[in-house]
Each structure stands twice: as structure tokens, then as C-alpha cells.
Chains A and B, each alone.
Chain A
Amino acid sequence: MNGVTVSAKVNGDAVQYVCPADESLLDVLRNRLNLTGVKEGCGTGDCGACSITLDGRLVCSCLVLGAEAEGREIGTVEGLSEGGKLHPLQEEFIEKAALQCGICTPGFLVAAKSLLERNPNPTEEEIRYALAGNLCRCTGYDKIVRAVQSAAKIMRRGKKVAR
């Protein structure tokens, strides 16, 4: 194996791995770093189940090479909660029954978090377009959109209190 040695940060922690030059970051995360919360639905960037952030930018990890992550910061669903406290998006996905089978949920959470960081008060239409890269086959998206709306509201309220 012609391995590439890569140093990166995953969910804030420094990691080092060796991977073949043509291995996707998705396979690295799942098979080398045991972050199986990142899901593969298609491997071609069409379903969003493998959504992660790379230096804060939302990407499909199946379309990124493991070697490309050198020196970069990776964010996955495993990094959403802080200690025992769930992120408001995670809370509201449970509260609003926004998941059924749950295979798309990690990708939706990462994508929704990315949206709310850019736009804390999105309209329904903005939410729908921001999440259009993530496929869900169970819910018809209804309860997902409501959960994101609800989490956004809670997060805005939280920020006001913090100030």
C-alpha cells in the first residue's frame, strides 16, 4: 500500500492516519477512525448521508480524499453534542419526531448546523433549499423542517440570554 500519512483534527481532537492516496475521507472516517456516525448512502455525492464540515464548510466526505484533509479541521455528527449535553438540533430532532429510520439523520444534523451558523433565522424556504442536498426517504421532510425551525428559535433565544 502506498500510504499517505495525514495529520488532521476531528471534532477538535488531533488525529493521525495512513491511507491509500485514492481512499475517500468517508472511508477513512468510518474504517480507520471508527466514526461510523458518518453514513454512506451513495458514494457519489447525491444523498448527503456522509455530510461533514471541512474547515467549517459543509461537504460530502465521499467526494473528498482522505489525503486532502491534511492540516484541516473535520466536524462530524459525533462532535455535535458537548459532553452529555445534546445540541439543540439533536434535542429538537428527537422532540419533533424528525427521524424514522435515522440513517440520514447525522447528515441532516451536520447540514442544519452549518445552515444555522450562517443564517440563525432562516425562512422555511431557506431551510428547504439548504437541506436539499440531503435525501430522506422516510419522513417527507415535514418534521425535519419543523425541528430545524424549532432549534433555530431555541438557539436564538439562547444567544440573547448569553449576552
Chain B
Amino acid sequence: MPYETDYTNQGFTKVGTRVNRPDGVDKVTGRAKYGADANAAGQLVGRVLRSPHAHALITKIDTSKAEKLPGVKAVLTGKDFPDLTGGNRGLMDILENCMARGRALYDGHAVAAVAAIDADTANKALKLIKVTYKQLPHVTDVDEAIKPGAPIIHDWVRTAGVTPAPTTASNVAQRSEFGHGDVDAGFAQADVIIEKSFKTEQTHQGYIEPHACLATLGPDGSGELWVTTQGHFTFRNVCASLLGLEVAKLKVTSSEIGGGFGGKTHVWTEPVALQLSRKANRPVKLVMSRDEVFRATGPTSSTSVDVKIGAKRNGKITAATAELRYQSGAFPGMWAMFGAMTSFACYDLKNVKSVGFDVLVNRPKVAAYRAPSAPMAAFAVESVVDMLAAELGMDAVDFRIKNAAKKGTKASYGPVYGPIGIGPTLDAVKNHPHMKRKLGKNQGRGVACGFWFNFGGQTCTDLNIGVDGSVNLTVGTVDVGGSRASLALIAAEELGIDYEQVRVTIGDTNSLGHNDTTEGSRGTFSSGMATIFAARNAVDVLKQRAAATWDIPVEQVIWEAGEARAKGRQNNNLPPLSLKEIAAKSPRTGGPIAGHNEVVADGAGVSFASHMCDVEVDPETGATKILRYTVVQDAGKAIHPDYVEGQFQGGAAQGIGWALNEEYIYGDDGRLQNAGFLDYRIPVCSDLPFIDTQILEIPNPNHPYGVRGVGETSIVPPLAAIGNAVSNAVGVRMTHVPMSPPRILNAIETAKE
């Protein structure tokens, strides 16, 4: 295969091996400490009162009875959060989402909070707070919210991205457009055009660990926050801005994180917990219930998408358009923009246009969910791609291969691609044994592709060598899926030492410079890059110490296989000095040996995947069983293959849940009806088969080891792959996710009529 190999074949000895993770023992023995596992002397229990209404004016909050209840130490409402945002609308949205300011915008919106000596007292206090609401008309559906006459969520919102600038309020917060060429001319050249509309329902990341924190903030403005988060530095900065604190005086420590998938990139109750602590002058522990997690954190958008693609008889796509409407909850978001950017990223298109509309509704503020916005766009586009292939009488994989983007393709969202993996993943699908398995009655096969940008971002890393030669690597990216193992492998590779000699710690915000949130599949990519550079800094020091020990110029010292070696015949009498030997002498040769790096890790390589799925649909019940599922994805370079596979499998499983079961169900009253794991059903063990994986390695030229982020892309193709499989099984095109049994039965019935 003619793929770039410049960055492979580096003779890795550690990278690419399947070592045991360093936090494994802690996690199998129950020792690992998560958000709710920390306690402080004198801590209070924090609880939040939430709106039962989808949209209401808060005319009065009477907290006097709650305040008088013995054991209650602090009560807060929106009035206890002065506006310190300096006109920053984004910050104000965060603040208003943490605690309502005169208006409840969705079922679950926080309206008051208490801190009390125990949970029982706190719960009693919540019941004593009397909130007077005046209900307002609400809207929860994305298409309804755009219609004329729909209740306006915010009267200050004017649609951004349109000219001339509108003068009246709208629920469309932003219009964004991407593409190039002339789509009208392109469609005029097409022999076949397919146009179809699709809907997807709102889903939640569904991490098993609810949000939890332990907050301490004293009257001196100094504080500490122990919290389950994907980005403790970001949490620090946001909490400091909202509460008027100096960044350096708020120490935030990330606990072990029990899943995030994007949902723990935003603050929800943390500023509230800190403010309760400040008011009570005692530590406050605030743990969300599962009901609160569903109602009041950040699920992903529900969407409504129209796609039109035209192609010539020879299978070449001539034009493609998409209009994507994504609801962002009760506050403006950028989610339709991401949908518009990713929708056609897999293909090499001359004429393409995608337009996104971010829409406000009375639902919780949408947050990132693993490759946010891409799965819904892919569902629509990859469904139409399949329909078009069928119409042309072409194999669905061959059709994709013929139109796949490649190196040099101008992406629909702007940039020109470097070496990319979409073609190779499709070739792998074509040759995969999965595709040769025979299908039986009521069974169908689906294939779909997916794309995600990936992200690098600000990163700061420290590497310290102990006197015994063991190495402590301190990073600021939270370990969400095994990155400590990957980063230890990278440090060991650079230094030429054993993996077991390296211990990785996630530093708190007082230990390192700023690190961006662990999002955009950046953990191993960016901290890996910073670790390589920090290790190389340390190697420079190690060489200097060896040179000084030998009394030769440092230019004559090289670092190889974990030891300093003296170059040149004149130095033949100097035996190599190992890292351990140099470390042991370090107190006498200049003190501690360390390497450090701060970097903006630009150049995150884009990521592509192609998935194959076989399903069987019971025509009596409409229930779908996943028979086989295979993920092929480009990892750039798989540092730890086990955890790369784990990301592929986990993303596929989440996508399967989304495709078949998961959805937020709102009643006519605008209240969420299924805020629990019983009624919001994520896949369980008996729902799934083994999920096969194939890792491809098309190196990212912007990373010393060729690494691309791997965490997110795996959730992009499943909706479409399963949609195509189910459509093939039942002989009816499925256009609405999740494809729950009633929807499938309804589609079959409608087709018969």
C-alpha cells in the first residue's frame, strides 16, 4: 500500500506494547479515589433545588424557613452570584446555567442551593424553600423552535452569521456555512440525485460516575476544589472568573474520573459548591444524583438534517448539500457549526455546501459528547450515500472508495488534507472477512464512515528523575481512558529505560502551567508530544552530567539505550554511564535532573474510521440485535494498542445505544420523562457481541511518533452503519434515530401502505 511510512518503523521498543496500566491495582481494589470519594473535616452536604418547569419566571424565592432550620449553614439563590463577567456573554451563560437569574429555562435548571450538616437536613431545607413561578410557554423540539410564533428563549439573541444583521430576537442563535464550488452547477451535471431528511434524538454521555466535588473557599479568597473533571485548569479559570477569585489562589485537583465523554468539560455545580463554602466558611461536598445528571448537565443535541447528493452514472459525486438544525438547549452553542463542518469531510467533492443552524430550546445547555455533532451529520450523509450507491447499482463500499478524500483534497470545511486514513480504512473494510459472512433472513449489513478533527492545545509537562533512577512524569491532562500507561511508555521510549521505572501523575493546578481540557482526543497526542520534548530536555541534562563526570566536552556524549556513551576513539576507555548511575551521582553533579516542556500542540492529525455492522431485526417486535460489529480506524501510531482498541469498542457501543435505544423523552409539559438508567437504557453486556477492531497506522506528520487522537471518531459511524444495516434488513429506509422497536415497526407499516 502506498501510504506514508516516514513516521513508522522508528524501531520502537516500548511504544506499541501492551503493558499493564499503572492505575490498574488501585482500580481493581477500590482504592482509586473518584469525585465522591474525598472528605474533609467539618464538611457540609450541598444540595440544589431545581425548576420543575420547562420555562418560567421566578417571581419570588423565600428562603427564610430553610435558613432557620437547625443545621443549615448556607442558602443561595441567583442573587448570591453578582455579575462579575464584565460583559462576557459566554461567561454569563455559564453563570446563569449554574444558577437561574430570574427565569428558569428548562426542567432541572438550578434555582437555589443549600449546605447543611447532613444530607437529611439539606433535603429538608430544600423542601422549605418556597419558589413562586409564573409559567411561560416553552418549546423543546428543534424544528418547532424555528417556526414563526415559537416561544422565544432569549429576547437578546439575534441570529449571528447572517447579513444584514437581524433586528429581532430569534431562537436561531447562529447560522454557519461551509463549502466550495458551485452546487447548482454540480447538481445540473448529476444523473441521479437523492434528497432526504433525517432526525436524531437527544442523548446523554451516560458516564457512570455522577458529577461530584468537594469545595473549600475561605473568606481570604483562597480555595481548593477536588472534582471529577476532564479539565481542572479550565474549571479553575472559569470558577475564578465567576466568583472573583485570583486564579493562583484556587487549587483544583482532578479526582479519578468515572467517565466524561465530553460531559465533564463544563462546570455545573462547582461554582455553586464553592460559593456555598464561602458563605458557610466550611468545606462543602456536592454530589449530583443520577436524576440531576440527566436533567441538568449537558447532553448532546437533538437534530433535524436535510441532505442532497447528486452523482454521475460512473459513480462520481458531482454535488452535495446539507442543512443541519441542532438544538443547543437553553443557551447558544456551536454544535450545528461542527455538524456542518464534519458532514462531508470524508469525501473529495468539487461542489459542496453545508449550512448549520444552532437553535435554542427549553432543554439543558448542550455539552460536548465524543466527536460532538459529527454522528448526527454522518447519520444523514452516510444514509444518503448508501441510497445513492443503491440507485446507481454500485457496491456501497466501492462507491465510497471512488469518492473518498485523499492527501491533497480540499476538505469541505476548508483545509487541504495531508496524509489521511479514509481510503485505507475503506480498503480494509472491502477486504475484511466480516464482509464475506453470509446473512440470513431478516438480517442486514451496513457500512458507514466517520471523521473527527482532533485537537492539540496548550500542554505543560514535567519529568523528574529520582536518585534511584525512577522517573516521575507529571502531566496536566486528565487520564480518561488509560493515558497514564501510554505516556509512561513514551517517556520510557525516549529515555531508553523500563516502562516500570516511570510513574505518571496528573498534577493539580498548582503543580503545572495551564493545560487545556482533555477533549478533542488530545490526551495522548498532546501530553505525549510534551512528554517527548520534556524527556529530550532531561536527556540533555543527563549528557551534561556524564560529560562533567568524564571531563570531556558534552558534544562527545550521545544517549543510547538508556545510557550515556562517550563518542570517539580517545574516549574508548570510558565505560557507558546508565541513567541510574548518573541519577545516583546527581546530588554531587549539579542537583536534581529534570526535563520540562510547555507547548501548544498544534497539528493534531485528522481521524477517519469505517465501520461494518450486521443486524437482525425481528419483524414481529421491531427489536434489533447486533450480530457482528467491526471498527477500522486510523490511529496514526497506536501507543498502547489495548487502550486504542478500547476507545474503538467504547465509541462503537455508545453509538449502538444511540442508534437503537437512547433518547431524551419530553412530555407536552416540557418535563423530561426518563431521567434514570431504567428508562434511559444504555447498552448492557447481553445487548452486544464482541466488537472487532482493526488499527491502521497512517502517521500524522505533525507528531514525532505519528500519533493521532483516537478517542472520538469511533462514535461517528455507528448511527449510520446501523441505520444502513437495519434499512437493508427491513427493506425500508430508516430516517429517525434511535431506531427503537416502535419506530422500526412504524416504518415497516408505513411502507406497506
Contacts and interface: CB of A to CB of B under 8 A. Distances in A.
B688 interface: yes
B83 interface: no
A67 to B, nearest CB: 15
A41 to B, nearest CB: 4
Interface centre among B28, B37, B256, B481 (most CB of A within 10 A): B28
A106 B209 CA distance: 13
B29 A78 contact: yes
Contacts of B156: none
Interface in A126-159: 127-129, 131-146
B206 interface: yes
Contacts of A104: 208, 258
A109 B690 contact: no
Nearest to B631: A140
Interface string A99-143: 111111110010000000000000001011101111111111111
Nearest to B26: A102
A143 B290 contact: no
A93 B646 contact: no
Contact of B257 (A36, A46, A101, A109): A101
Contact of B28 (A93, A103, A138, A143): A93
A136 B29 contact: no
Given A35-B30, A135-B208, A145 B685 contact: yes
Nearest to A76: B30
Interface residues on A, range: 35 or more
Given A103-B34, A142-B690, A144-B685, A137 B28 contact: no
Interface residues of B, number: 57
B262 to A, nearest CB: 12
Overall SS of chain B's interface? loop
B207 interface: yes
Interface string A52-86: 00000000000000000000000011101100001
Contacts of B319: none
A17 B468 CA distance: 45
B686 A41 contact: no
B709 interface: no
B469 interface: no
A88 B27 CA distance: 14
Contacts of B41: none
A44 B676 contact: yes
A132 B24 CA distance: 23
Given A100-B646, A103-B209, A105-B28, A137 B259 contact: yes
A145 B690 contact: yes
Interface in B429-486: 480-482
Interface centre among A43, A102, A103 (most CB of B within 10 A): A102
B746 interface: no
Nearest to A49: B208
B313 interface: no
B32 interface: yes
B20 A95 contact: yes
Contacts of A81: 29
Contacts of A103: 34, 207-209, 256, 258-259
B627 to A, nearest CB: 14
A109 B650 CA distance: 19
A124 B224 CA distance: 46
Given A38-B30, A43-B289, A105-B28, A137 B206 contact: yes
Contact of A129 (B646, B650, B686): B686
Contact of A86 (B28, B32, B684): B28
A137 B208 contact: yes
A3 interface: no
B480 A101 contact: yes
B30 A140 contact: no
B214 interface: no
Given A40-B36, A44-B677, A138-B650, A102 B27 contact: yes
A137 B680 CA distance: 13
10 contacts: A30-B36, A37-B30, A39-B208, A42-B677, A97-B482, A103-B207, A103-B208, A140-B688, A141-B683, A142-B649
Interface of A: 20, 30, 35-44, 46-47, 49, 76-78, 80-81, 86, 89-90, 93-97, 99-106, 109, 125, 127-129, 131-146
Given A105-B28, A132-B684, A139-B649, 9 more contacts: A41-B290, A42-B676, A42-B677, A46-B678, A93-B28, A103-B209, A131-B686, A141-B688, A143-B645
